[in-house]
A and B are shown apart, each in its own frame.
Chain A
Amino acid sequence: MIVVVGRLGRWALRQLGAVLGVSVLIVETVYWLTVAPLKGRGFRWRSAVEHFVEYGVRSLPIVGMICFLIGVIIALQASYTLDRWGANRFIADLVAVSALRELAPLMTAILIAGRCGSAITAEIGTMKVNEELDALTVMGVHPVKYLAAPKLLAMATAVPSVTVIAMLIMIVGGWVSSVLVVGVEPEIYLAQTTGAIVEKDLVTGMVKSLFFGLVICLVGVYRGFRVDGGAEGVGRETTASVVVAIFLIIVVDLVFTVLFYYL
């Protein structure tokens, strides 16, 4: 019994420490992103753009491919039920609403977490192991300014941008399988889609994806700075970074869904 309480207590303390650590990181990153540039202490725009290309543009092929296939799949699956009532034209509504509200933001975030969240942790972790972070500090360059701030801006813009494109591609995927396989008239599908899209769904999808981007980046950076104990530590934190990021993405998703549609 005492052992269990002790374990629980230590676990709670560790989580509290993590929350504190992440809070400090958030404050510092926001400072280097907003206050410091205004005080003339600089922001690494070039690095932010480079990272935007890496997180956004280079993620497009895989995100596009997967979202297209998911669009195809949802349409096929939906037709299984809707066909019985002769309501195949509502496949378009289903695909559009689920793409905008849920699937496009979620799939984009999970894929970018796997592609880039891990890379952020590995990069920063390796730099820590090689004393490169210490070298930056001694040179008077704050590691958060040099590494975290440009990445956060890049991630916060890249994930929503990719998400918009993913939404579109997913709807195209639904259109392709509905028209070619299920036999819905192309014009009817389009009319149903435009009728189903509500501005609020688009906005909530984008707001969610912005927060997904922040989660991916902050978890990646925090785990990277936490690396301890050589190459093995880098591997451990990199794996944890992806798992934790995906878990938090789902939690954030739930929170926003409740906020937007049930309050």
Chain B
Amino acid sequence: MKEDRHAIEVEDLVVAYGDKVVLDRVSFSVRPGEIFVILGGSGSGKTTLLRTLVGLMRPRSGRIAIHGQNLTAMSDEQQMEIRRKIGMCFQGAALLGSLSVADNVALPLREHTRLEESTIDIMTRIKLELVGLGGAGELLPSELSGGMRKRAGIARAMAMDPEIIFYDEPSAGLDPIVAAGIDELIRNLRSTFSLTSVVVTHEMESVRLIADRVCMLHRGRVAGIGTLAELEGSDDPYIRDFLTRRPAESDADETEWARSLTAVD
């Protein structure tokens, strides 16, 4: 089957808030088991792209297929089924503040399976062990450091043994050592479970460490897709500026773009 070659396929995706088009005919595909990085500056639409991929936003047009199943043609009910096979780590981890770390990880299991409480307990421990939080199960999210919270978020995303995992800015707001630890965790999870990973980030250090392929977004459009080496060899001035961390040639242009996105009707 041809579809099986891609874990995720996105075709001509258009997403808009009102009449402001945030993503304009975005197309790419993610291969099973690879770490696919969506790279872009602020306002490039990368977070919107991620939210659309996991079903939190509805696209205006275009097609998203996960393992060959067209998500955009599905009812909410069917989408809920698909969502159980994907995991998502939010930028701020988004752990439920009223539950302990272990209960957070156990939540999807309790909601979607009929497993015995003792089995859920063991599975929760395994997932926490996996992300290096073996002893932290009884703590509340507010008692964790930023890095530990991200790890707990990853453990929760892994709870249902997903085939695809999405990370929203996994290393944002962390110190370099902790961030490198998260990058290593992302790589380890991929190699252990051949987990298809989609990472949204703007941190070049982390891209160099983890990315198999990179999709560069600029102003809601795909500026380039390929390995980091391929992108570094690109002649697109924006890609080269971004990768070498140079200020954009015409700064006024960027301000204009930001204004067009935030303008009040």
Contact = CB atoms under 8 A, between A and B. Distances in A.
A pairs with B = yes
Nearest to B96: A132
A142 B83 CA distance: 12
Interface string A108-138: 0000000000000001001100111011111
Given A139-B107, A141-B108, A132 B83 contact: no
B94 A134 contact: yes
B107 A141 contact: yes
Nearest to A146: B111
B123 to A, nearest CB: 15
Interface string B122-138: 00000000000000000
Interface residues of B, number: 24
Interface string B46-71: 00000100111000000000000000
B88 A130 contact: no
A220 to B, nearest CB: 16
Contacts of B238: none
A42 interface: yes
Given A131-B90, A131-B91, A137 B96 contact: no
B94 A140 contact: no
B96 A134 contact: no
Contacts of A140: 80-81, 83-84, 108, 111-112
Contacts of A127: 96-97
A132 B56 contact: no
B95 interface: yes
A240 B108 CA distance: 33
Contacts of B84: 139-140
Contacts of A130: 92, 94, 97
Interface of A is mostly: helix
B90 A135 contact: yes
A137 B54 CA distance: 9
Contacts of B97: 126-127, 130, 132
Contact of B111 (A42, A126, A138): A42
Contacts of B96: 127, 132, 135-136
A138 B112 CA distance: 13
A209 to B, nearest CB: 28
A141 B104 CA distance: 13
Nearest to A40: B114
Contacts of B112: 140
Given A42-B111, A130-B97, A138 B56 contact: yes
Interface string A132-160: 10111111111000100000000000000
Contacts of A134: 51, 56, 90, 94
Interface in B142-192: 156, 160
Contacts of B83: 137-140
13 contacts: A126-B97, A131-B92, A132-B94, A132-B95, A132-B97, A135-B88, A138-B56, A139-B83, A139-B156, A139-B160, A140-B84, A140-B112, A141-B108
Which 8 A-B pairs have CB atoms at the shortest separation, nearest pair first?
Answer: A135-B94, A131-B94, A138-B88, A140-B83, A140-B84, A140-B80, A139-B108, A131-B90
Given A137-B83, A139-B83, A140-B108, 5 more contacts: A132-B95, A134-B56, A135-B94, A135-B95, A141-B111
